[in-house]
Amino acid sequence: MKHNDRADESDKRVLRRQILQVRQGLTAADMRESATALARQARALPELQQARTVAAYVSVGSEPGTLALLDTLRARGVRVLLPALLPDNDLDWGVYTGEGSLARVRHGGRMTLSEPAGERLGPDAVTEADVVLLPGLAVDARGMRLGRGGGSYDRVLARLDRAGARPALVVLLYDSEVVADVPAEPHDRPVHAVVTPSGVRRFG
C-alpha cells in the first residue's frame, strides 16, 4: 500500500464519519419524506423503467429508505434481487417478494440487516441484473462512490467485471451527499447515476 492509498483511506474515514453524523440527526419524518421522494425520482429513471431484473438492498438505520422503491419495482413486474451478507463480507442474493419475504439477520456484533428469507441464488446471481442499486455515503462529480468500507460492493463490481456484465450502476443518496470530491483508490470505479430525493444526476 503506497503512502497515497493510506492518505485516501484516512480521508475516506473522515468523510464517512461526517456523513454518518448528519444522517444520525435525521428525524423519522425526514426519513419517510425522503424515501417517498427517492422512490418517485427513481421510478422515472429510464434504466429502471426498462429493467427486468434489479439488484437492490433494504436500507438500514438512517440510510435513504428503499422499501417504497422495492415495492414499486415489484408491482411493475420487475424481479428484485436482495443481498444476504456472507461471513467473508461477500454477498449472496435472493428474490424480494414483498415485506413478508424479509428476515432480520444479526451479523455478529456488527449490525442487523433485513435479508431475503427464501432460496439463495448464489453470489453470481447479481450478474443477471440490468440495474444494480448501490448503497453509499457520498458520490462526487466524477461519479466516484464512497461506500461504508466493508468491501462487499467492491466484490460485486469485480464480479460484474469478470462476467462481462454491464448493468447500470445507480447509487441512492440524500441531496447533501453529492459532494465535490470523494477520495478514490485505483480499484474504485464510477457509478452511472445518483438518485436523491430532489432528482437524478448522471455521470460520464
Residue numbers in the known binding site for ATP are: 12-16, 145-153
Binding site for substrate: what residues are annotated?
A: 58, 63
State the angle between helix axes of 67-75 and 28-43 in degrees (0 to 180), rounded to the nearest 10: 30
User: b/e map of 116-151 (b: 16 or more CB within 10 Å)?
Assistant: beeeebebebbbbbbbbbbbbbbbbeebbbbbbeee
158: amino acid identity, one letter: A
Binding site: what residues are annotated?
A: 12-16, 58, 63, 145-153
- The grid coordinates of residue 120 equal 439463495
Number of H helices, E strands in the chain: 5, 11
